[in-house]
Each structure stands twice: as structure tokens, then as C-alpha cells.
């Protein structure tokens, strides 16, 4: 298999991945009979690296609730690769990394909002476990856990799953966020997310849900309609250091938010991303991990490409009011 490569835009400095092998991924609708993520089809994926399964069952056989396997069509690969032939003026490097798939149900379910809280707890536990494992490898400077829910949100296989990548660089959006938080801390001595939590609680109008450990709100500068964040109420930089009680208390607001979005929007097409600090920075006073959920309601267009900005047609205050009114049970 050819090594995927990172290439750098000579004007903007943006690094992006060229990964031709991924073009061979199966596309479009799959029948259950051919779905590689269904229990009983374990042979159709690479061997598992982690699973939550019945004690009596063996790896790579049925009996699992959540299963993690290497991505068969990786955008980054876990081996040293040849550096692409240098071109004058242009920069490139091998796209080394980890790229795993978290298969989130043994049954052929296609909507993450249909899962029960106890299953979400297992899924979150699997995320934390694999992110903890990848954190031990110093080559990975950033861990990116994301879900594509629905074909319209970029999924190529419909069976519920998420992806976890270990990257050798901190990607630009993560860097912008981390630098922004660091800068805010340098100016004020406070964590910008802790400040935001306090302000959102006191304003109230953008809050969707709250429990003792987590706040769910539509952010003031929502990029897309019904964008919602789940933010820990206590300062913590890394998702990987969350204790069991905290992960348990995350399953409920995550389930509730996904169900609210599913019901309010008449079906769920969304992405979610766990924003966790770079492992090598460890716990620090400026960065605060959280989850961002981005529904796909409006197709983005030339404005977004040309400006790097967004036009959101739903005020986050209105989005939060609507979501609060939906029964999540």
C-alpha cells in the first residue's frame, strides 16, 4: 500500500492529507448481509485492538458490545514510510499515525441516537481506553476522535461507528483553539472555558442541559445551526484522565443531546468531535476538554470556502430554547 502523505500549502501553511487508497472504500448503501461492522462479520475487518465483550467470548468472534479495529482504508498509517521525493518550493511528509474504527454496536443500527445510555457508556469507555493507549506513544502529538453520523455527514458505512486518529502534528483547528485558550490564560489568568461555563450558567438562555459534571449549551458563536457543546464543569485538560464516575455522568447528557437533535431535526445527520488537549502538554491550567456536536442542516458553500467563516441561520439562543423543549427520554 502506498504511504499517504501530508502536503503543505505554500501560501496558507495548511497541512492536509493526500490518501489515494481511501478512494477504494466501499461507498453508498450496504446491505446488512455485507456490512463488515455487524457481529458475525468480524473476519471482514482487521483484527481488533480492543473490545468490550462477554467474558466467555474470544477476540474477533461475536460476543462483543463495542469493538475497535484498525481502519482498513487509513488516512494515516502506523509505520515509517518513505519521504516523498522532495519538490522544490513544496513541502511534504509521510502521513504516519494511528487510524482506528470504534464499532459502536454489534447490531446493524444506523443512528447513534437510538442507543441506550448503558451502551453509550461502553462506547465512551472504549474511546477513553484507546485514547489512553495511544497517549503512550510519543509520536502522536494529537488525538482526534470523531463521528460521522449519516451519509450527509461524511459516513461511508452506515453501521454506527466513530474514528480515532493519532497524528504526528497538531492540526490547524486544534492549534487555533489551544493557542486561543493559552493566550486567554496569559492575559487573564483564567481558563476561557471555565469562564464560558460560568457565563452560560448565569445567562441561561443558551443552556440545553446540565448535571453536576457537565453543561450542554449552544455556543455563542455557533458555526452551524443547532451546534451544541458538552463541557465538563470542573477544569480538566484531557478526556483521557476522566474518572469512571465522570464518564458515567457524560453518557446521560450525550444521549439526551443526540435524542433531542434527532427529534428536533427529524433525523440525525451530524458530526461530533472530542476536543482533548495534546497528550504531551498533560493537564494544564489553560486547556479544557469538551465535546462539540455539529448537526448538518444547511449545506455549506462558496462563502465558507472563500472566507473560512460561516453563515448560521439559527440563533444559538433559539436553538437552545427549541432543544430544551424536546423530551430526550
In this structure, are residues 210 and 197 in contact, taking their beta carbons and an 8 Å threshold?
A: no
Give me the least distance between CB of 264 and a copy of itself, in Å please. 14
Contacts by 168-174 with C-beta closer than 8 Å and gap 24+?
A: 168/76, 168/93, 168/96, 168/97, 168/139, 168/140, 168/141, 169/6, 169/15, 169/141, 169/142, 170/141, 170/142, 170/278, 171/15, 171/142, 171/144, 172/14, 172/15, 174/142, 174/144, 174/275, 174/278
**Where in 139-158 is the site for a copy of itself (CB under 8 A)?**
144-148, 151-155
- Asked if 310 is part of the footprint of a copy of itself (rule: CB under 8 A), the reply reads yes
Q: Which of 88, 189, 266, 325 binds a copy of itself (CB under 8 A)?
A: 88
- Asked if 318 is part of the footprint of a copy of itself (rule: CB under 8 A), the reply reads yes
Give me the least distance between CB of 150 and a copy of itself, in Å please. 9
Count CB-CB contacts under 10 A for residue 156.
13
Strands 15-18 and 5-8, sheet pairing:
antiparallel
Report how far residue 311's alpha carbon sits from residue 44's, in angstroms, rounded to the nearest whole number: 42
Give me the least distance between CB of 56 and a copy of itself, in Å please. 35
- Asked if 78 is part of the footprint of a copy of itself (rule: CB under 8 A), the reply reads no
Report how far residue 9's alpha carbon sits from residue 13's, in angstroms, rounded to the nearest whole number: 5
CA angle 26, 122, 124 (to 5 degrees): 75
Give me the least distance between CB of 300 and a copy of itself, in Å please. 6
Give me the least distance between CB of 313 and a copy of itself, in Å please. 4
Q: Which of 37, 64, 127, 193 binds a copy of itself (CB under 8 A)?
A: 193
Q: Which x/- pattern over 158-187 shows residues binding a copy of itself (rule: CB under 8 A)?
A: ----xx-x-x---xxxx-xx--xx--x---
Of the pair 29, 33, the CB lying nearest a copy of itself is at 29
Give me the least distance between CB of 11 and a copy of itself, in Å please. 4
**Where in 226-265 is the site for a copy of itself (CB under 8 A)?**
none
From the centroid of its chain, how far is CA 180?
20
Q: Which of 1, 32, 47, 90 binds a copy of itself (CB under 8 A)?
A: 90
**Where in 8-27 is the site for a copy of itself (CB under 8 A)?**
8-23
Rg (CA), the chain: 20
Q: Which stretch binds a copy of itself (CB under 8 A): 41-49, 84-92, 241-249, 259-267?
A: 84-92
Helix (H) or strand (E) holding 210: strand 207-210
Amino acid at each position: 500500500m502506498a504511504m499517504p502523505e501530508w502536503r503543505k500549502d505554500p501560501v496558507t501553511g495548511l497541512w492536509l492529507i493526500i490518501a489515494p487508497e481511501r478512494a477504494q472504500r466501499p461507498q453508498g448503501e450496504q446491505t446488512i448481509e455485507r456490512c463488515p461492522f455487524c457481529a458475525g462479520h468480524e473476519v471482514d475487518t482487521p483484527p481488533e485492538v480492543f473490545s468490550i465483550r462477554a467474558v466467555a467470548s474470544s477476540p474477533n468472534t461475536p460476543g462483543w458490545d463495542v469493538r475497535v479495529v484498525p481502519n482498513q482504508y487509513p488516512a494515516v498509517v502506523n509505520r515509517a514510510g518513505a519521504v516523498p521525493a522532495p519538490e522544490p518550493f513544496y513541502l511534504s511528509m509521510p502521513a504516519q499515525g494511528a487510524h482506528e474504527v470504534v464499532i459502536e454496536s454489534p447490531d446493524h443500527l444506523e443512528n447513534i441516537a437510538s442507543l441506550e445510555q448503558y451502551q453509550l457508556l461502553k462506547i465512551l469507555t472504549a474511546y477513553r481506553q484507546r485514547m489512553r493507549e495511544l497517549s503512550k506513544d510519543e509520536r502522536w502529538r494529537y488525538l482526534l476522535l470523531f463521528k460521522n453520523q449519516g451519509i450527509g455527514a461524511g459516513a461511508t458505512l452506515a453501521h454506527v461507528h466513530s474514528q480515532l486518529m493519532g497524528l504526528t502534528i497538531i492540526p490547524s483547528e486544534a492549534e487555533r483553539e489551544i493557542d486561543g485558550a493559552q493566550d486567554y490564560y496569559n492575559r487573564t489568568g483564567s481558563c476561557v472555558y471555565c469562564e464560558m461555563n460560568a457565563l452560560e450558567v448565569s445567562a441561561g438562555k443558551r443552556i440545553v442541559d446540565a448535571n453536576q459534571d457537565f453543561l450542554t449549551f449552544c455556543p455563542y458563536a455557533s458555526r452551524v445551526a443547532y451546534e451544541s457543546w458538552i463541557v465538563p464543569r470542573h477544569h480538566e485538560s484531557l478526556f483521557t484522565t476522566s474518572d469512571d464516575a465522570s464518564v458515567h455522568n457524560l453518557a446521560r447528557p450525550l444521549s439526551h443531546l443526540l435524542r433531542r437533535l434527532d427529534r428536533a431535526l427529524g433525523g440525525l445527520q451530524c458530526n461530533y468531535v472530542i476536543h482533548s488537549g495534546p497528550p504531551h502538554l498533560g493537564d494544564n491550567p489553560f486547556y479544557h476538554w469538551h465535546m462539540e456536536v455539529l448537526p448538518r442542516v444547511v449545506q455549506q458553500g462558496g462563502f465558507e470556502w472563500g472566507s473560512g467563516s460561516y453563515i448560521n441561520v439559527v440563533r444559538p439562543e433559539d436553538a437552545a430554547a427549541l432543544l430544551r423543549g424536546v423530551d430526550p427520554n
